[in-house]
Chains A and B, each alone.
Chain A
Amino acid sequence: MENLYSLTAHELRELIDKKSLEPSRILDEIFKRIELLDDKIKAFVLVNKLNAKAETKIGKLFGIPVLIKDNICVKDENTTCASKILEGFKPPYDATVIKKLKLEGAVLIGKANMDEFAFGSSCETSFYGPTKNPWDLERIPGGSSGGSAAAVAADETILALGSDTGGSIRQPASLCGVVGLKPTYGRVSRYGLIAFASSLDQIGPIAKDVKDAALLLNVIAGHDEMDSTSVDLPVPDYRKSLVKDVKGLRIGVPKEYFVKGIDKDVEEAIKKAINILKDLGAKTIDISLPHTEYALSTYYIVAPAEASSNLARFDGVQYGFRAKDAKDLIDMYVQTRSQGFGNEAKRRILLGTYCLSSGYYDAYYLKAQKVRTKIKEDFDNAFGSLCDCIITPTSPTPAFKIGERIEEPLSMYLSDIYTIPANLAGLPAMSVPCGFSKNNLPIGMQILAKPFAEETIFRTAYTFEQVTDFHKKKPKL
């Protein structure tokens, strides 16, 4: 028999349901695996070996280990956003998604490393140091949910939760060769997700295959009266969309995503993937999303602006780190924040504060909100009549080397160029493994659909997965 840790959640659930597997064995294997590997990969900031247990014996995820990104509040457990400023913070409450996981019997095995406050695309801005890509330990796993994606890829967990503000689920999923879904804005409650940019953030699943992603989304999706921006729509059973059938599916291929800056291997892999879907009966349509080139600029105004305000609360008064020996109140604020935040956090706070400050608001923030409207309209037009889904690369390049871009913020920001538009428009988007580069690094394909059309994405991705085996490839560790 295969090692339990290498199985998917649905495979393990089947074994548990047939009573041929005692769930505690999964945990034993997983914790052994973490012990063996995580010194190298550093996907975990907290391993919850002592308390890990299912709170109920029934439920869709009974006995399944789930790793939680460190910006999601788990009651009485360290939740730090990989930042010094939240050192030792133990939230007095569970995020809504955590409540749901516990109700379905999931086992929370720990907290995943991430870029500090989700500011980054490489996991290098973590206070705890970088996570490594399981496919090449010299390389970054992507970010900000790099710990979650790397742990899934390395079989250190079965499922993981990430959060996605500009690609933070999809880009690391792509770079680690796993499946990652950013649901429609409003599909999953944000209550208990420590906010980066409130109008863009969304929690989503990171999993070994499409079916597992559907299983996890089934559990976490739904309306929450604690989140004004969560939408009161029925949640379909996403497993029902797992049908191998793309006949007549209209796939939009936007020309703006295949321009300079894209890696040759990536371009080739995506084009091949699209052809595979075509062979299965899908139709491709060349479309244009003319405001694509403005998405990154828009994002780097909107997201830091909201972040600068969201992060104002970290001031040393109520929780987390407080600088010692401050001479007065202002000094305490300034020292706490200057010592508590890392470079990228400071950079974004400064940028966001600037864009909101008197005299600049109209030129930056308001302008960005207006361009956001144009970007959204591009998608409205495409999904309105032309296509059912859109396929693009998830990331312009495979995983880059640790340290390669960290000194150049702008080059780092460019790694999210394909993922950001979905956040600005609130659309659901998934990254699925679709190939490997010449030096054996995973490549991901991004599938986008209109709001609340996750089912279209699941069907497309599942069909693709049925005829390919990229998702089954494992890194050599």
Chain B
Amino acid sequence: MKIIDKATVKHVALLSRLILNKDELELYSKQLASILSYISKLNEINTKDVPPTSHALATLKNVFRKDLLKPSLNTDDVLKNAPSKEGAFFKCPQVIEGK
């Protein structure tokens, strides 16, 4: 495994919607590199043909709910934590269309 460089940390920060100042970038790059180098221990194990586990409970399957209405929150409760709102809407800085 390749050990992480500053450019990558910067890119990952952008993906995470975080901004790092120079010191932070320096610090995190160093720390992440050390963690990743520890983690690279995993390469010692041959995992060819080993199925991945994303759930510890392998037997749990097909968990559904019925298509039955449940009461929604009242709008006051929906909006009471909002940092900014207008009418019954949440309000945020302008979104320029197009994802």
**Of the residues A225, A297, A318, A319, contact of B41 by C-beta under 8 Å:** A297
- Does B92 sit at the interface, judged by CB under 8 A? yes
Whether A367 and B42, one on each chain, are in contact in the complex, defined by CB atoms closer than 8 angstroms, is: yes
Is B57 interfacial (CB-CB < 8 Å)? yes
Q: Is the CB of B9 within 8 A of A350?
A: yes
| 0 or 1 for each of B15-33: is its CB under 8 Å from A? (1 = yes) | 1111110001000100110
Please count how many residues in chain A sit with their CB below 8 Å of the partner chain's CB atoms.
72
Tell me whether A353 and B47 are in contact in the complex, defined as CB-CB below 8 angstroms, given that A300-B39, A329-B93 are known contacts. Answer: no
A266 at interface by CB-CB < 8 Å: no
Q: Are A199 and B83 in contact (CB under 8 A)?
A: no
Contact among B4, B56, B78 with A354 in the assembled complex (CB-CB below 8 Å)? B4
Task: Collect the chain B residues with CB atoms within 8 Å of residue A185's CB.
Answer: 56-57
Pairwise interchain contact B45-A374, C-beta atoms closer than 8 A: yes
- Residues of chain A contacted by B84 (CB below 8 angstroms): 322
The reply to whether A347 and B31 form a contact with Cβ atoms under 8 Å apart is yes
Q: What's the least CB distance linking A348 to chain B, in Å?
A: 10
Instruction: Report if A372-B77 is in contact (Cβ < 8 Å); known contacts: A329-B95, A350-B13, A354-B32.
Output: no
Is B81 in contact with A317, judged by CB distance below 8 angstroms?
A: no
B99 located at the interface, meaning its Cβ lies under 8 Å from any Cβ of chain A in the complex: no
Nearest CB in chain B to that of A329: its residue: B93
CB of A321 to closest CB in B, whole Å: 8
Report B79-93 CB contacts with A as 1/0, cut-off 8 Å.
011111000001011
Contact A409 B35 (CB under 8 A): yes
Docked-complex contact A410 and B34, CB < 8 angstroms: yes
Are A369 and B54 in contact, with the CB atoms below 8 A? yes
B44-66 residues at the A interface, CB under 8 angstroms = 44-45, 47, 50-57, 60, 63, 65
Please measure, in the bound complex, the distance between the C-alpha atom of A373 and the C-alpha atom of B42, giving whole angstroms.
13
Contact A297 B12 (CB under 8 A): no
- A426 near B45 (CB under 8 angstroms)? no
Q: Which residues of A contact B38 (CB under 8 A)?
A: 296-297, 300, 410
- Alpha-carbon gap, A68 to B65, bound state (A): 29
Beta-carbon contact of B57 and A229 below 8 Å = yes
CA distance A411 to B83 in the complex (A): 38
Known A92-B73, A297-B38; contact A363-B1, beta-carbon cutoff 8 A: yes
Complex contact B41–A369 (CB within 8 A): no
- Bound complex: CA A185 to CA B54 (Å): 12
Find out whether the CB atom of A368 lies under 8 angstroms from the CB atom of B90: no
Residues 343-363 of A, flagged 1 when their CB comes within 8 A of B and 0 if not, give 000110111011001000001
A351-397 at interface with B (beta carbon < 8 Å): 351, 353-354, 357, 363-364, 366-374, 376
List of A residues within 8 angstroms of B56 by Cβ: 185-186, 199-200, 376, 424-427, 451
A331 to B84, CA, bound (A): 16
Across-interface contacts of A297 in B (CB, < 8 A):
38-42
Q: How far is the CA of A410 from the CA of B35 in the complex (A)?
A: 6
With A294-B42, A334-B18 as given contacts, are A328 and B80 in contact (CB-CB < 8 Å)? no
Given contacts A350-B9, A351-B32, contact A373 B57 (CB under 8 A): no
Q: Which of A225, A298, A320 contacts B42 (CB 8 A)?
A: A298
A371 and B57: CB pair below 8 A? no
Q: A317-B90, A353-B16 are in contact. Are A368 and B83 (CB under 8 A)?
A: no
CB of B93, distance to nearest CB on chain A (Å): 4
Pairwise interchain contact A225-B57, C-beta atoms closer than 8 A? no
- Which residues from B are CB-within-8-Å of A199? 54-56
Q: Which residue of A lies closest to B43 (CB)?
A: A367
Q: Find chain A residues with CB under 8 A from B20 CB.
A: 338, 346
Quick one: CB contact mask for A169-182 with B, threshold 8 Å, 1 for yes?
A: 00000000000000
Instruction: Give bound CA distance, A132 to B31, whole Å.
Output: 26
A186 to chain B, nearest CB (A): 5
The interface centre, meaning the residue of B53, B92, B95, B96 with most chain A CB atoms within 10 A of its CB, is B53
Contact B28 A347 (CB under 8 A): yes
Q: Are the C-beta atoms of A92 and B80 separated by less than 8 Å?
A: yes
What are the residues of chain A within 8 A of B16 when measuring CB–CB? 308, 312, 337, 349-350, 353
Closest to A423 in B: B56
Residues of B within 8 A of A (CB): 1, 4, 8-9, 12-13, 15-20, 24, 28, 31-32, 34-36, 38-45, 47, 50-57, 60, 63, 65, 73, 77-78, 80-84, 90, 92-96
> Mind listing 16 A-B residue pairs with CB under 8 Å?
A90-B80, A228-B63, A229-B55, A294-B41, A294-B42, A296-B38, A300-B39, A335-B19, A350-B16, A354-B8, A354-B9, A354-B12, A370-B50, A376-B53, A409-B31, A426-B55
Top 10 nearest A-B pairs (CB, nearest first) are A426-B56, A369-B52, A319-B81, A322-B83, A370-B47, A92-B77, A228-B63, A372-B53, A333-B17, A370-B50
**Additional A-B contact list (11), CB under 8 Å, known A368-B42, A370-B51:** A90-B80, A92-B81, A199-B56, A229-B55, A333-B17, A334-B18, A337-B16, A354-B4, A357-B12, A371-B47, A410-B38
User: What is A's interface to B at a CB cutoff of 8 Å?
Assistant: 88-90, 92-93, 185-186, 199-200, 225, 228-229, 231, 291, 293-294, 296-298, 300-301, 308, 312, 315-322, 326-335, 337-338, 341, 346-347, 349-351, 353-354, 357, 363-364, 366-374, 376, 409-410, 413, 424-427, 451
